[in-house]
Structure 1
Amino acid sequence: AHGLMLAIAALLIGWVGWRWLRSPAGRAWWQNRALRLPVVGALLYKYELTLFTRSLGTLLGNGVPLLTALHIATETVGNANLRGPLATMGPQVKEGTRMVRAMENTRVFEPLAVNLVRVGEETGRIGPMMLELSSVLDREVETGIKRALTLLEPVLILLLGVLIAAIIVSILLGILSINDLAG
């Protein structure tokens, strides 16, 4: 009876947690926590910026006006914690702030990204520079994933070794306890 109640309570807690994570507040909480994870957070951060810069570069390269392109590119970012600061760029540019200054004000982009856009703005080639920046970020994400997988392999081997050792020890203890009963 207690096991059934425990199972029902676990299912109920799981269902409530799942529903909360699907709510806007729960999603924002999860996205914030995901960005703070040690290895995965940096990869997610750069991946989201890759989406933004690639979309912005493609839109600008196809003749979409800057303000419209900024708005559309911001919508491609799935993480609300990044979308908020990126959404401030459009109004700043509309008020006359230079694109590179608006990027700096978001505090989202690394100095390399800001410098690439600065060069693009000075040469009148923001679109191609955004595409170049997205390529750089994409390579960083790929490298990060490869490093994480390289580190994950030995950890998994160790975990499997410990699991197999625990199984062997439990079998041997069972055999020894049977011998104690017989003797």
Structure 2
Amino acid sequence: DEDGDGENEFSGLVDSRSGRDFFTDGTPTLRLPDNRASGAPSIVATNIESLTGTLSPIRNLLKPNESVWIVFNRYRATEAGRRKLDQLKLTVPVLGKLNQLNLFGQFARTLATLLHNGVAVLTALRITEDVVSNVIVKEAVAATRAAVTDGKTLADPLAHSKVFPQLMIDLIRIGEETGDVPGALNNVADTFENELSIQLRVMTSLIEPAMIIVMAVFVGFLLFSVLSAMFKMTANIGMQGGR
């Protein structure tokens, strides 16, 4: 009985060690056509690394550059940086025109509403200055308020700032001559808001085909990267199989 127990313990020990060695040290092998064993995991790992290397430019492209974003935020927080960015918002192609229409329409509508409700011109200009978010336009409104304080009309300092469009200045001047500045400002606001609406509709109609083209280029590049990696993987397996 003792011999049987010892033999069973020995065989169990061997089985357990064999199972442990199989799961820890055993490496599955791929039997190639010439009956030679090759390490399949190394082939797969090599080609997975190749596929990962091929897709790494896409991953790097999608990864946000945090350092650039931090520097941009710090620059935007400075007075000079904010002024430069606000100036760029007014002059950049396409988007600058939309931003101008929005800002000038907001200025005209706010000032017209205040004047129509009996608010004094200087007070209305100060409130409008606080409402406007763009630094360039805000400074132009502040300079206009200072000029009106000195006894000048509203249209002349607006023209002197060279920020506001000539159409707005001409309509305000006509309103001053006819004694209906709020009505002239409302006409300005209506004109700019209608033009902004038209521009947005045109831009929206162009965004959809542009997005389709961009997505097609991106998907094509992604498919090319994946297929080239797969072809390279197949070629590597074929070369190792022919050895």
Band of TM-score, shorter chain: 0.7 to 0.9
The question of 1:143 aligning with 2:198 is answered yes
Report the residue type matching 1:27 in the other structure.
Answer: R
Percent identical pairs in the alignment equals: 27
The question of 1:168 aligning with 2:223 is answered yes
Provide TM-score, normalisation by structure 1: 0.85
For the structure 1 residues 28 and 68, does the alpha-carbon distance in structure 2 shift closer, same or farther, using more than 3 Å as the test? same
The question of 1:102 aligning with 2:102 is answered no
Extract unaligned runs of 5+ from structure 1: 1-9
The one of 35, 50, 53 equivalent to 2:90 is 35
The question of 1:73 aligning with 2:128 is answered yes
Q: Quote the Cα distance in structure 1 between the aligned partners of 2:167 and 2:74.
A: 40
The question of 1:48 aligning with 2:103 is answered yes
The question of 1:112 aligning with 2:167 is answered yes
The question of 1:84 aligning with 2:132 is answered no
Question: Residue 123 of structure 1: CA displacement?
Answer: 1.6
1:23 is aligned to: 78
2:29 is aligned to: none
Question: Residue 12 of structure 1: CA displacement?
Answer: 4.8
Extract unaligned runs of 5+ from structure 2: 1-64
Question: Residue 49 of structure 1: CA displacement?
Answer: 1.3
Question: Which secondary structure does the structure 2 equivalent of 1:88 belong to?
Answer: helix
Kept in 2, the 8 Å contact 1:74–1:87? The answer is: yes
Report the residue type matching 2:214 in the other structure.
Answer: L
Report the residue type matching 1:87 in the other structure.
Answer: A
Question: Residue 46 of structure 1: CA displacement?
Answer: 2.0
- RMSD over aligned Cα, in angstroms? 1.9
Question: Residue 68 of structure 1: CA displacement?
Answer: 1.4
The question of 1:126 aligning with 2:181 is answered yes
Question: Residue 24 of structure 1: CA displacement?
Answer: 2.5
The question of 1:61 aligning with 2:100 is answered no
Question: Residue 69 of structure 1: CA displacement?
Answer: 1.0
Provide TM-score, normalisation by structure 2: 0.65
Report the residue type matching 2:76 in the other structure.
Answer: L
More moved, 21-30 vs 77-86:
21-30
Question: Residue 29 of structure 1: CA displacement?
Answer: 2.2
Report the residue type matching 1:55 in the other structure.
Answer: T
Q: Quote the Cα distance in structure 1 between the aligned partners of 2:151 and 2:202.
A: 42
More moved, 14-23 vs 122-131:
14-23
For the structure 1 residues 11 and 107, does the alpha-carbon distance in structure 2 shift closer, same or farther, using more than 3 Å as the test? closer
Question: Residue 173 of structure 1: CA displacement?
Answer: 1.5
Q: Quote the Cα distance in structure 1 between the aligned partners of 2:143 and 2:93.
A: 27
